[in-house]
Amino acid sequence: MQATNGSYRRVAVGTIVALVGLAAFLFLMLPVRSHLTIAVPALVFVVPVILGVVVGGFVPGAVGAVAGFLVYDIFFLPPYGTLSIRAAQDWIALVVYVVVVLIVARVVTNLQAARQEANRREEDANRLFELSQALIGDFTLPQLLEQIVATVQALFAPRWTVLLLPEASAALGVEDSELSVAARAGQPITAEELESLIAGGGQTRSLGLPGGVVPSRVAVALVASNRPVGLLVLQEVRLARQDRALLGTFANQAALAVERAQLQDQVLRSRLLEEIDRWRRAMMGAVSHDLRTPLASVKTAVSSLRRDGDSMGAEDRADLLELIELQSDRLARLVTNLLDMTRIESGALSLRYSPIPLDELVGEALDAVSGLVPPTRVVVGDTADLPLVEIDHLLIAQVLANLLENAARLAPEESLIHIDARAVAGASGPLVEISVADEGPGIDADRREQVFEMFSSHRGGDRAGLGLTIAKAFVEAHGGSIWIDPHVVNGARVVFTVPGAAQVPAHA
C-alpha cells in the first residue's frame, strides 16, 4: 500500500513539473514569438516533458506531450488562439513534435527503469552479501542462530523474528519431532503468538509457508540436504517480490550454516566421547598396573602373618607389618589421585586461597607421604626470607607430595631429595618458585613435556602415573606453571610457581 501511494505521488509531481515547465516556457517565449521559427517552440517544449518523465515516469510525459501539443498549436501556429492549422508545414511540425516527445519520453522512461532495476539488483546483491557475511564467522550453534535472527530483523524490519528448530529427536531420524523456539529478535512475543507458532504439534513435516493462516506473517522453511532444518518466521512484515526471493536465498544459506554448525557439534561430541574413552582406558591401565602391585604385596604379607605368625620372629613380623603399612599408604595415595583426577575432569575443582608460610606447606606435604618418603631423605632449603604463598594449601601440598613420591620411587633408595624455593617477579604480581630435585635417572629431553600427560613413562619404562598430571592441573589452576629444568645433568628437577603474598615475608 505504501509503495502504491508513493507511485501515485510521483506521477502527480511529475505531471505538475511538466505543466509548470510548459507554462514557464510559454511565459518566456510568448512576447517574442514573432521572432521565432515554428521549430524553436517545438524543441523548447520537449524540455519540461522530459523533466516530467524523469520525476514521475511515462504518464506525466504523455500528459505533457498533450499539453505541449495544445500550447504549441494555440500560441505558436497561425492562426493564433485557435486549434485550426492552415499550412501543411505546420501540421508536419506539430506531428513531429508529438512523435519526438513521445519517443523521448519512452526512451527516458526505459532508461530510468533500467537504472532503477540495476540499482535494485545492486542493493539486493549488497543485502545478500551482508546476509551471507553474517553466516561466515566461526560461531557456535547458539551464536549462529542469534546472528541469523538479528540479521533478518535488521534488514527486513518485521515486528519480530523467530527461528524454530526441531527437538533433538529429529537428529535421530524421528520425523514427528516438535519445533521449539531456538532464537528470537525484535519486539517481545505474546503468549498467543507463541502458541500459534507451534500450533498443531509444530511438526517438522509441516515446515513451509503457512498459507496465510496468520495475516502479515511470513514463514520460510530452512531445508538442507532434503532435510528440514528449521523454520524462520517474520511477524507483521510486507515483502516485495524481490524481497521474498532474497529472503528465500538467505534461508537456504542459513539452513546450510545451521547444518554445518550442527555437524560441528556432533564432531566435537564424538571427539569428547573418544577422549573420555581414551581416559577410561588409561584409567583401567592405571588400576591394573598401579593397584595390582601394592594389593599383591599386602595380600602376601597378610597371608604370611596368618600362616606363620605364631612361629615368626618379632623382627620378621615387624617387617611384614611395615610392608603392609607402606603399601596401604601407597594405595591410599593412588585412590586420592584417582579422586582428584575425577574432580579435574568433571570441572568440580574449586580453589580456597589463604596465605601460608612455605615451611608449613612443606611440612603438610611431608606428613602426607611420611609412610612412603622418610623425612631423613628430604633436604629443605632456607625459606626464611621468602614471602607467604597465597594458595589453596591443600592442593599445593598435594602437588609437593606427588613430586616427593615420584622422586622417592624413581631415585636410589638412600639418595637425597632437595626442596628449594625462591621469590621471582611475575607479570601479575610476585611469585614463589618451588623445585623438587632428585638423584634418579633423570628425564630425557624429548619427554619433558609428556611426563605431565596421564600415565606417561619415565626412562626405563617406569610409569609416572597420575601424580605429575594432577600436579600440573593444580598448579595451572593457581595461574602458575610447571616444568622440568633442562639444565640439570644428573637426576631430575621439577619446578613450579605459585602466587606469593606481597604484604609480609614468611618470617618478618
The residue assigned the cell 606447606 is: 361
**Which domains are present in the chain?**
2-129 (no CATH), 138-262 (3.30.450.40), 349-505 (3.30.565.10)
For residue 499, give every residue at least 6 positions away whose Cβ sits within 8 Å of its Cβ, in sequence order, or none. Answer: 353, 389, 390, 391, 426, 429, 430, 431, 432, 478, 479, 480
Q: d(Cα 153, Cα 145) in Å, to the nearest integer?
A: 12
In degrees rounded to 5, what are phi and psi of residue 13?
-65, -40
Q: d(Cα 458, Cα 407) in Å, to the nearest integer?
A: 11
With beta carbons less than 8 A apart as the criterion, state whether 448 and 486 touch: yes
pLDDT tens track, the chain, 508 positions: 445 566 788 888 888 988 888 889 888 888 888 888 777 887 888 888 888 888 887 788 788 878 887 887 888 878 877 777 766 677 777 777 777 777 777 777 788 778 877 877 777 677 667 666 666 666 778 888 888 888 888 878 888 888 888 764 334 344 445 778 888 888 888 877 777 776 544 333 333 444 444 457 788 888 777 777 888 888 888 777 777 777 887 788 788 888 887 787 788 788 877 876 776 666 666 556 566 767 778 888 888 888 877 777 788 778 788 778 777 877 776 777 667 666 666 666 677 888 999 999 998 888 888 777 888 889 998 887 888 999 888 888 888 988 998 888 888 888 899 999 998 887 778 899 999 999 888 888 887 887 877 655 444 444 445 678 878 888 888 889 999 998 888 889 999 999 988 643 444 3
Write down the pTM of the prediction: 0.45
Q: d(Cα 124, Cα 425) in Å, to the nearest integer?
A: 58
Q: d(Cα 17, Cα 431) in Å, to the nearest integer?
A: 82
